[in-house]
Chains A and B, each alone.
Chain A
Amino acid sequence: MLAADLAALRAGLRVGMPATKAQALVPGLIVQDADPYADAEGLERLALWALQRISPIVAADPPDGLVIDSTGADHLHGGEVTMLTSMVQRFAASGVEARAAIADSWGAAHACARFAGRPAVVIPPGESEAALRDLPIAALRLDPGIVADLHTLGFERIGELASQPRAPLALRFGPQVGRRLDQAMGIMAEPIDPIRAPDLVEVRRAFPEPIGAAETIARYTTKLVTALCEELEARGLGAKRLDLLFHRVDNTRQAIRVGTALPVRDARRLSRLLCDQIEKVDPGFGIEVMTLAATLAEPLAAKQAISSLVEEPEADVSDLVDTLANRVGEHSLYRFAPVASDVPERSVARVPALAPEDESTWHGDWPRPPRLLPRPEPIETMALLPDHPPVWFTWRGIRRRVRRADGPERLFEEWWKRDDELSAVRDYFRVEDDGGERFWIFRAGDGEDPETGSHRWYLHGIFG
């Protein structure tokens, strides 16, 4: 037996068991032949998927893993933790149970993903050694024979092995143990050979002398982009994601990735996006080869420009949106769109900045405050029930007398969303204090029926 799913494990089957024994244990067991070639192909497909969506440097790590160099890519996904959990969730949504880890080195991440026991692990920089210490030595990617021999000698954890003198270990087991330890601790570099899609649009330039100055990199970036755009034009494509890979003389790779909201083939605009990111590249002792690939390309047909005689077109801001999105991250650039909901905090949704526009807006004439508190803050009030505004209220330690008030505006919460909103009601008032400051306050409940809410008062927004 080479693999077993959760149901099989529950039935007491283990990997490594002879198939006949398994069939004897579970009558009517369905056994499928292992197909390592199809497995490898599937892994390759997953790697390509990750290449297009997550990071420019991705490789399959057979038999069951992917290795991703996420340096410089995590901010586009909202930070390392968010990136990792959303990745695991996306795999889960497509039926693949995945465990993931981020660490300083390939070895450490490999070990933590398989042996840390949690679906998503982020090891902070510099703490790989501490994280690895308690993991079993099987996490080190050693040959099974060596692992068994080490067990015989009494080694269980990586920490025990790491504190041993190297020479006797090397004498007995060869160089593999020391190399794997160094790779896991990040002492020895382990470059990732990134996977490439077969029909990838890619241009490459090798330098006779390594380059390092930012201006030189920028100049060659522009040349590469021009060449890539010609290639894209020949195929009728536009780039949505570009990866620029730098192969350094010390055999490590650095990458920068830029994305655009719509397919683009404009060399000036693309090189501007890439040159914006050059400061993030550490050329080290020099860069030998630069490779530029359009990882995600979509058909882009030439289109006719609107004549200025007909009407003056509204200026195109998609290039600005791309520049800003690559700088602050796609999630930090958005528009608000109306949602048909009476509950104020649910009435707005964030949509991508270049989402198709419509003229829709919010309905209703009741004034809304320009500032909405992230969550309503409780206030102390004195008010006549059931539907009078407060006479005074205290918010953040300041007592204010209510001079004028408008309301109540009764909002029913959404019973179809949650059970405790079944009969919940909010009565909103717009109140003005002596100094003219205007606030949006509400009472949870209709003032009569305790079923509808706690009858406590909250401040929800500030009017201008």
Chain B
Amino acid sequence: MPKPVVSSIAELRERIQRLEGGAGRARKVLPFGLPQIDRRLPGGGLALGCLHEVAGGGNGAVDGAAAALFAAGVAARTRGKVLWCVTRQDLFAPALAQAGLLPGRVIFVEAGDEKALLACMEEGLRHGGLGAVVGEVARLSMTASRRLQLAAEGSGTIGIAVRRWRRATEVADFGQPTASVTRWRVSVLPSEPLPVPGVGRPRWLLELIRCRAGESADFEVESCDAQGRIALFSEMAGGSPQTESGRRRASS
């Protein structure tokens, strides 16, 4: 009995994909290399040629430090130059280099306002020669995100919108719908306990809040290493790997 259900779901998915456009184009993905996360994402990874959104949780929504590192980790694993658009520059490049994004690869654009920033992002996504385009924006309307998504679809470049607000009261804006394919929230967790005093490898709570053609989930991960890869960690002191680290949530 379950078999026909599975096949009809697959058929439905295929039909939806055809309706969504991009007919005949096999969409490439950028896997995290962690089966627990990749399994949750359609295609087995972050889709290239799409717009993804990342925001910080708690105070991270304002400083955007963890979200920027997460974006840098994704961008580091692409090939080619990376365009990073900001309105106010407070990134510290050595930290990006420690997440695998070497200084020679990142071109920064300091746009005067958010409108100019979105235009620069769109230009970068349309170009097609870049590995990734990252933009730090506060407001992202449906129209603006749709433009970015279409530009990304046309060229196959991955677009990452790091959502970052001036004040903690503006964070409710993250609930507004956009055309991005996935939406992540990265919150800091206490770092890896060490047997000696000190701060271990940082840990994040990585929430997949929205995923087109997928379900939301959250993961507890260790932050990017020198190649931009995140890792899952085991809660057990004995070292037995967690069987199911992605807890299911009601979809939001």
Question: Using an 8 Å CB-CB cutoff, how does the interface string of B57-75 with A read, 1 for contact, 0 for none?
Answer: 0111001111111101000
A324 contacts B109, CB within 8 Å?
A: yes
Known contacts A315-B80, A357-B104; A371 and B127 CB within 8 A of each other: no
Contact (Cβ within 8 A) B127 A405: no
Tell which of A48-56, A159-167, A210-218, A333-341 binds the partner. A333-341
Q: Contacts A368-B94, A404-B197: A332 and B109 contacting too (C-beta < 8 A)?
A: yes
With A317-B127, A332-B111, A464-B186 in contact, is A327–B92 under 8 Å at CB? no
Contact A371 B108 (CB under 8 A): no
Q: For the complex, is B98 an interface residue (Cβ under 8 Å from A)?
A: yes
A55 to B197, CA, bound (A): 61
Which of A38-64 touch B at CB < 8 Å?
none
B195 to chain A, nearest CB (A): 12
Query: Distance (Å) between the CB of A335 and the closest chain B CB?
Result: 6
Interface presence of B22 (CB below 8 A) = no
Q: How far is the CB of B57 from chain A (nearest CB, A)?
A: 11
Contact among A336, A430, A432, A464 with B93 in the assembled complex (CB-CB below 8 Å)? A336
Given the contacts A317-B81, A317-B127, A462-B65, A335 and B191 also touching, CB distance less than 8 Å: no
Minimum CB–CB distance for A74 against chain B, Å: 13
Which of B43-51, B115-123, B238-246 sits within the interface? B115-123
The answer to whether A464 and B92 touch across the interface, beta carbons within 8 angstroms, is no
Interface segment, one of A20-28, A111-119, A280-288, A359-367: A359-367
The number of chain B residues touching the other chain, given as a range, is: 35 or more
Q: Which of B108, B109, B128, B189 contacts A315 (CB 8 A)?
A: B128
> Would you call A438 an interface residue if the criterion is a C-beta within 8 Å of the partner chain's C-beta atoms?
yes
Give a binary string over B79-111; 1 marks a CB under 8 Å from any A CB, 0 the rest.
Answer: 111010000001111111111001110111111
Q: How many A residues touch the partner, as a band? A: 35 or more
Could you say which of B81, B116, B130 has the most chain A C-beta atoms within 10 Å of its C-beta? B81
* Known A371-B92, A464-B70: A337·B103 in contact at CB below 8 Å: yes
* Sample of 20 A–B contacts (CB below 8 Å): A314-B80, A317-B127, A317-B130, A319-B127, A335-B106, A336-B103, A360-B104, A361-B103, A362-B93, A368-B92, A368-B94, A370-B95, A371-B92, A372-B92, A404-B200, A436-B203, A437-B58, A462-B63, A463-B65, A464-B223
Sample of 11 more A-B contacts, CB < 8 Å, known A335-B108, A362-B94, A436-B189: A315-B80, A327-B120, A328-B111, A332-B110, A332-B111, A358-B104, A362-B93, A438-B202, A464-B60, A464-B68, A464-B204
